[in-house]
């Protein structure tokens, strides 16, 4: 079996490397980034998305947003031009559920199976191979690629039909964004009140307020470390997809809308490429404090 991997950015690169470590044969392509380091580890390079598809039994895409996936799969020199009937395409990007359904329908007409399988965990878990992977699509197709996905994730869950993987990811991104905002608000309060933020963290992380988000992001905030594991601009994209989807189906999401405005402030202040824990900067700005040790 040969796996084609399209998109070797912050997340895709370590994911592809984990597949190589697991012994899979890989062919790789990225329109925007060098793939030389992955080729040096044993992968085969491709000249285009179509070239990659012609050589692959399973294709994985890991790209920034819906338009990038649409271009790579359905566009000129795209996967759809050369993928053989029976090929399985697994899109692990975070895109709009409606786009996932559109791609799935187009591929189905060519005899190509499709799963939408976005991930959560950021760069550290992509490197460790411990991502949470939420999958939408046919159960039989899912079982065929489950062993591949398990080389990249600690949990791999089929949640429903095509599109449901990305609905699940949108729910995940709402929880993460609101959690970071809540943590930032709480620690701004503690800092302004003159209480040591590190001690507050130590006191509450083991209780009901504790969370994976708190454990991952508060140490970064306390260190003033906003190096991206997950960039502000990507969370803006995810929340926009969440807002659009919610409005389409008639679900009010007022807290999501509020955090979106905080992220928009960060973009306006030039922090688009920083980690999403820089939400704390918004609270530092309005409270005129720094949440630091």
Question: For 229-288, how does the pLDDT look when each residue is reduced to its tens digit (9 = 90+)?
Answer: 889 999 999 999 999 999 999 999 999 999 999 999 999 999 999 999 999 999 999 999
Domain-by-domain residue ranges, the chain?
2-160, 167-287
Q: How far apart are CA 35 and CA 45, in angstroms?
A: 8
Q: How far apart are CA 196 and CA 217, in angstroms?
A: 17
Q: How far apart are CA 124 and CA 127, in angstroms?
A: 5
Interval 59-107: pLDDT, tens: 999 999 999 999 999 999 999 999 999 999 999 999 999 999 999 999 9
CATH 2.130.10.10 correct for 167-287: no
What is the per-residue pLDDT for 229?
82
Q: Is the pLDDT of residue 292 over 90?
A: no
pTM for this structure?
0.91
Distances (CA, A) of 223 to 8, 76, 198, 219, 291: 29, 46, 10, 6, 9
- Active-site annotation, residues: 169
What is the per-residue pLDDT for 238?
94
CA dihedral for 6, 172, 262, 209, sign (positive or negative): negative
Residue with tokens 């009901």: 208
Q: What percent of the chain has pLDDT over 90?
A: 96
What is the per-residue pLDDT for 104?
98
Using an 8 Å Cβ cutoff, are 258 and 283 in contact? no
What is the per-residue pLDDT for 121?
87
What is the per-residue pLDDT for 166?
96
What is the DSSP code string of 181-241? HHHHHHHHHHHHTT--HHHHHHHHTTSTT--HHHHHHHHHHHHT----SSBHHHHHHHHHH
Distances (CA, A) of 35 to 7, 12, 20, 84, 149: 9, 11, 13, 24, 21
Interval 185-214: pLDDT, tens: 999 999 999 999 999 999 999 999 999 999
Put residue 121 in one of left, alpha, beta given phi > 0 → left and psi -120 to 50 → alpha: left
Q: Is the pLDDT of residue 17 over 90?
A: yes
Nearest to 19 by CA among 31, 5, 29, 6: 5
What is the per-residue pLDDT for 122?
85
Q: How far apart are CA 130 and CA 194, in angstroms?
A: 38
Q: How far apart are CA 240 and CA 268, in angstroms?
A: 16
What average pLDDT does this structure show over 37-51? 97
Residue with tokens 């309005």: 286
Nearest to 61 by CA among 84, 88, 93: 93
CATH architecture of 2-160: 3-Layer(aba) Sandwich (3.40)
Interval 168-188: pLDDT, tens: 999 999 999 999 999 999 999
């Amino acid at each position: 079996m040969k796996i084609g991997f399209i998109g070797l950015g912050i997340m895709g690169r370590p994911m592809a490397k984990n597949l190589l470590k697991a012994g899979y044969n890989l062919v790789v392509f990225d329109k925007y980034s060098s793939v030389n380091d992955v080729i040096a580890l044993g992968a085969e390079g491709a000249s285009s998305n179509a070239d990659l598809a012609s050589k692959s039994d399973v294709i994985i895409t890991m790209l920034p947003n819906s338009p990038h996936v649409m271009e790579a799969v359905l566009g000129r020199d795209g996967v759809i031009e050369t993928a053989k009937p029976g090929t399985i395409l697994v899109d692990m990007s975070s895109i709009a559920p409606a786009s996932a359904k559109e791609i799935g329908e187009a591929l189905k007409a060519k005899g190509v199976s499709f799963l939408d399988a976005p991930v959560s965990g950021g760069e550290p878990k992509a490197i460790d191979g411990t991502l949470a992977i939420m999958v939408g699509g046919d159960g039989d197709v899912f079982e065929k690629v489950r062993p591949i996905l398990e080389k990249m994730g600690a949990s791999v869950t089929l949640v429903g039909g095509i599109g449901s993987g990305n609905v699940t990811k949108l729910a995940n991104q709402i929880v993460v964004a609101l959690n970071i905002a809540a943590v930032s608000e709480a620690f701004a309060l503690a800092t302004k009140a003159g209480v040591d933020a590190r001690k507050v963290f130590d006191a509450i992380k083991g209780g009901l307020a504790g969370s994976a988000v708190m454990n991952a992001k508060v140490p970064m905030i306390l260190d003033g470390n906003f190096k991206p594991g997950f960039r502000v601009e990507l969370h803006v994209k995810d929340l926009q997809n969440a807002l659009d989807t919610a409005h389409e189906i008639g679900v009010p999401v007022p807290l999501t809308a509020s955090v979106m405005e905080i992220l928009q402030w960060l973009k306006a202040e030039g922090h688009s490429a920083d980690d999403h824990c820089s939400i704390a900067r918004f609270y530092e700005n309005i409270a005129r404090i720094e949440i630091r040790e």
